[in-house]
Amino acid sequence: MAYFRWKGTINNVKRKGEVIADSKEAAIMKLKKQNIDVLSIKQSAPPIELDFLNKVKPKDLMIMTKQLSIMLNAGIPLVSAFSILIEQVKNTKLKKIITDIKEKVEAGSSFSNALREHKDIFSDLYINMVESGEASGNLDAVLQRLVITMEKDLALRRKLKGALIYPAMVSIVAVAVIALILTFVIPTFSKMYADSGMQLPLLTRIVIGVSNFLRDYIIVILLILSIIIGAFVIAKKKSIKFRTYVDSLMLKLPLLGTLILKTSIARFSSILSMLTSGGVSILEAIDIGAKTSGNLVIENTLTKVKEAVKEGSNLSEPIAKAGIFPDMVSQMISVGEETGKLEDMLVKVSQYYEEEVDNSVKNLTTMLEPIIIVVLGVIVGTLVIAMYLPIFKIGQAIKGG
C-alpha cells in the first residue's frame, strides 16, 4: 500500500488530504467514490508515527464528535463529514482511525459497527449511543448529547487533577528545599563544628547524621525509590487484586476519598440517564456506567447492583444496600422510580454531585495548603534550630564565663 497526498474539491470547496491505496489510479478511484474531484495527487512518504507521543486524548475525541455533530446537523452526509474530519484532524492516529471508519461505512458497515473495530479508542458508552442514534435516525442529536457528557467528564477530571496538582507541586518544592538544606547547607555547619571539636547537642547530631546518610547513599535511595514506584505502577496495571486494594485505600482517604466518590456518582448518574433515555437497557447502561467509574471498588459495587436488578430488584434498593453511596442517591433514585421519571432524577443527581465536586475541590485545596505550609515550616525550622543550637551554647558559655 502506498501513501498519497491530494488536492481537490468537495461541492466546489477546495480540500486537501491523504489517502492510502495500492496505486495512484486506485487512490483517484477511492477519492471519486467520496465525491472528491481530484485536482492533483502525488505519492508521498507516510508520516513518522510515535504512538506514545500521538495518543488520542479525550479532548481530541470530544472535538471530533462535536465537529461531526455540527456537520450532520447541517445536512452533510456522514461519509462526506468523515472526509472533512480527515482533513481537519491534526492527530495522525485519530486521522487514520477516521479514515478506516469511513472506508468501512462506504463498504456497507454501520457507523457503530465500524467503531467497534476501535474499542481501544471508543468506549462502550460511545458505541452504544451511536447505535441508538442510528436506530432512531437522530444521530446528530445523540452525538451532541455525547459531546455534553464528554465535556462534563473532562471538567470533572480537570477538577480532580486540579485538586491534587497544587498540593503535589508544593510538596515537591518542599522536599527539594529540605534536600538542598540537608545536602549543601548542613555539611558546611558540620565541617565547622568538626573543626572546633566541640560536643554537639543530640538534635544537631541527628540532623548531621541524616545529612551524611543522604550524601553517602543518595544514588541508592533514588534507585530504591524508582524501583518501588515502577513496581507500584506495574502491579496496578497487571494485578486486579492490587488495584482493588489501592482503590479501596483511595476511597478511605480524608477529603480525597469523598471527592473521588462524588466524582464517580456524578459521572455514573449522568451516563445512566443518557443511555436509558437513548433506548439502552437498564442492565447494559449500569454495566457501561460501572466501567466509567474510574475506581474498581465502585465498579465492583455497581456490578453487584446490576446483578440485583437482573434478578428483579429495582435500582434504588441495591444502591441503598451497597454501603458506599450516600443515602440521598438511593432516595432520589427511588423517587424517580415511583414517579416514572428516573431519567430526570438521575440528571438531578448528576447536577447535585457536580456542584459537590466543586465544593470538595475548594475545601481540599483550602485544607491542604496550610497543612503543607505548617509541616514545611516545622521541618525547616527544626533543621535551622539544630544547626544553631551549638552557637547558642557557645554564646551562653561566654556569658557565663
pLDDT in tens, 296-331: 999 999 999 999 999 999 999 999 999 899 999 999
Range scoring the smallest mean pLDDT among 125-139, 186-200, 269-283: 186-200
In a domain, 118, yes or no: no
Whether the pLDDT of residue 182 is over 80: the answer is: yes
Residue 115 banded pLDDT, cuts 50, 70, 90: very high
Q: Which domain holds residue 13?
A: 1-46
In a domain, 98, yes or no: no
**Contacts of residue 81, Cβ cutoff 8 Å, sequence gap at least 6:** 68, 71, 72
Partners of 6 in the beta sheet? 17, 41
In a domain, 162, yes or no: no
What is d(CA 212, CA 343) in angstroms, rounded to the nearest whole number?
64
Specify the pLDDT at position 168: 81
In a domain, 38, yes or no: yes
Specify the pLDDT at position 169: 83
**Contacts of residue 8, Cβ cutoff 8 Å, sequence gap at least 6:** 14, 15, 16, 31, 36, 37, 38, 39, 40
Specify the pLDDT at position 329: 93
Nearest to 205 by CA among 389, 38, 371, 350: 389
CA-derived radius of gyration, the chain = 30
What is d(CA 183, CA 211) in angstroms, rounded to the nearest whole number?
6
Q: What is the mean pLDDT of residues 48-69?
A: 80
Nearest to 294 by CA among 114, 113, 58: 58
Nearest-5° Cα angle at 196, 190 to 199: 75
Specify the pLDDT at position 61: 92
Whether the pLDDT of residue 175 is over 70: the answer is: yes
Whether the pLDDT of residue 68 is over 70: the answer is: yes
Whether the pLDDT of residue 394 is over 80: the answer is: no
Q: What is the mean pLDDT of residues 258-263?
A: 90
Name which residue leads in pLDDT, 25 or 198.
25
Specify the pLDDT at position 348: 94
Q: Kindly report the pTM of this predicted structure.
A: 0.71
Specify the pLDDT at position 360: 83
Specify the pLDDT at position 91: 86
Q: Are 245 and 279 in contact (CB under 8 A)?
A: no
Whether the pLDDT of residue 1 is over 70: the answer is: no
In a domain, 5, yes or no: yes
Residue 49 banded pLDDT, cuts 50, 70, 90: low
In a domain, 27, yes or no: yes
Specify the pLDDT at position 53: 56
Q: Are 23 and 2 in contact (CB under 8 A)?
A: yes
Number of domains in the chain: 1
Whether the pLDDT of residue 265 is over 70: the answer is: yes
In a domain, 13, yes or no: yes
Range scoring the smallest mean pLDDT among 37-41, 52-56, 257-261, 311-315: 52-56
Could you read off the pLDDT of 334-393 as tens digits, one per residue? Answer: 999 999 899 999 999 999 998 998 888 888 777 877 888 888 889 888 888 988 888 887
261: its cell numbers: 466518590
Q: Are 41 and 28 in contact (CB under 8 A)?
A: yes
Q: Are 3 and 20 in contact (CB under 8 A)?
A: yes
State what percent of residues in the chain have pLDDT above 70: 96
In a domain, 24, yes or no: yes
Q: What is the mean pLDDT of residues 133-142?
A: 87
- The packing angle between helices 92-106 and 58-73, to 10°, is 40
